[in-house]
Amino acid sequence: MKVTRIAYSARLNPGKYAALVEQARRLGRVRSEVWQRYGSIAGVGSGLRDRRVRDRWLVEGVHLQFGVLANAWKETVRDAMADITASLEAAKVEVRRTINRRTSDPAERKRMFTALTANQWASDPFLARQMRQHWKRGKNGTHDQIVVRADKHNTIVDGRGRLWLAVPGLDRRKLVRIPLSTTVAPSGTLRLILRGGRVEVHYQIDASQMRSSQRPCGEATVGVDKGYTEALTDSDGVRHGCGLGELLTGESNRLKERNRRRAKLRSIANTAALRGDHAKAHRIKANNLGVMKRDRQAARHRALVRTEIFTAVHRVVDKAATVAAEDLTKTFAGHKALGRNINRRLAGWTKGVTAEALKSVSERRGSALVHVNAAYTSQACHRCGRLGRRSGDRFHCTRCRVVWQADVNAAINILHRAGDPDIALHTPHQKVKQILQDRTDRHRTRLPVQDSSPAPAERRANYPNRSAMSN
């Protein structure tokens, strides 16, 4: 398993940076060309490989217009084709869901899944229609990256112990030397991302080399519930990553304040420009509305949150051989709907990081990650199964007459779901509710009625439609 590492340039000469930016811009045109020509059903959708594209371009002379070295455009073609393939595969995930909804016949399902995997969906009218619907034609948005093949770069350490990375520039005979702020030499294929006057060197290392991967996992089976104040709460009642809430609230407040200030400055600059005071407008834009500091602060915040979440997951895996959790990648669908709301955007992103951490740490340390259906896990009592209400961090069960800590209650429910014979990962929401209600009903007929407040539950059971609306 691979993990991504990032090295940063340190005090890079602006002239060198500008040359790299120009190279990345030209390679961005290569990417656009690839998306334009092959980002469709007839291109990557038909199983076209990047090697074929390279051969074709060499014959037709397509590459001549870009003004970059051969290796640079070839690697970029490969990278762009991989991007297109990734977008295609993402669409297939959606289409697999529609196949499951369309038919329950195992043979028919298998036939469609196989056609989808082998990129032979174009001949099947249903699959072709679904793919067209879910695979929207994309276009390239990347103009700031350079991919460097493993044998095209090298590093040296200078007399003062500083590490320099040499990569090809636009000129065949001259390498561009980039001073790095680390002493660990990047290896393998590099992705240089040019951001805010600084070069980010992304590369992958084998996870087994990492110290944290050598720690074995624990022996228990643990359920976890993701939170906002803390990264995770486990079914033993322990909270992990308790600094998360403070980090997110701090960032959210900082962003709101900064956006407010920037809006004000922007309006001052616009007013000045209207008045004809272009010098002032320019001064504000250059000195106060730049993106360099903003982007670096954002990167620093992202790194802090990632550390908090990964550390939390490590703490769980310290004791767990099996971790039961909600599939947090699934809820990622409504990306656009999040809009400008800072808190929701941060929460959505945090969820993605938690999902990544659970998967990556489990794989590296050898614990099993079991995704469970999390429907109603925060609204049911873990002891008796009755649906109740969560208010803030408390969950009150009217049958047990106990107030649970809501996140611990949810984590225990998630743990139970891992071994639930009736509720599978993809059991629909409504059906989960029905199963839970049937269970408590069965429970009730077995026991003498001693509950003083059964009314709400009975109403729900008698009028399922109304309860669906109120949820």
The site for Zn ion (CB under 5 A) is made up of: 381, 383-384, 397, 399-400
Closest distance between Zn ion and the C-beta of residue 382, in Å?
8
- Judged by CB, which is closer to Zn ion: 157, or 402? 402
- Judged by CB, which is closer to Zn ion: 39, or 388? 388
Closest distance between Zn ion and the C-beta of residue 235, in Å?
16
**Residue 183, C-beta contacts closer than 8 angstroms, at least 6 positions apart:** 157, 161, 163
Report DSSP state, residue 104: -
Closest distance between Zn ion and the C-beta of residue 401, in Å?
8
- Judged by CB, which is closer to Zn ion: 176, or 412? 412
- Judged by CB, which is closer to Zn ion: 299, or 400? 400
Closest distance between Zn ion and the C-beta of residue 399, in Å?
5
CB 38 within 8 A of CB 53: yes
Q: How far apart are CA 224 and CA 234, in angstroms?
A: 4
Start-end of H helices in 334-428: 342-365, 406-417
Could you tell me the CA-to-CA distances from 85 to 81, 261, 456 in Å, in that order? 6, 41, 51
Q: What tokens does 227 get?
A: 């939170």
- Judged by CB, which is closer to Zn ion: 89, or 441? 441
- Judged by CB, which is closer to Zn ion: 109, or 439? 439
Q: Which residue has the tokens 């609204």?
A: 379
Closest distance between Zn ion and the C-beta of residue 182, in Å?
54
Strands 175-180 and 163-168: antiparallel
- Judged by CB, which is closer to Zn ion: 397, or 410? 397
DSSP H/E element including 225: strand 220-226
DSSP H/E element including 53: helix 50-60
Closest distance between Zn ion and the C-beta of residue 450, in Å?
13
3-state secondary structure of 420: coil
- Judged by CB, which is closer to Zn ion: 191, or 386? 386
Closest distance between Zn ion and the C-beta of residue 397, in Å?
3
Q: What tokens does 175 get?
A: 């390498």
Start-end of H helices in 61-188: 70-102, 106-117, 125-134
Helices 292-319 and 244-275 meet at what angle, rounded to 10?
A: 170
Q: Which residue is nearest to Zn ion (CB)?
A: 381
Closest distance between Zn ion and the C-beta of residue 398, in Å?
8
**Residue 226, C-beta contacts closer than 8 angstroms, at least 6 positions apart:** 232, 325, 326, 328, 351, 354
Q: How far apart are CA 76 and CA 203, in angstroms?
A: 15
- Judged by CB, which is closer to Zn ion: 63, or 399? 399
Q: How far apart are CA 214 and CA 467, in angstroms?
A: 50
Closest distance between Zn ion and the C-beta of residue 384, in Å?
3
Strand partners, 206: 2
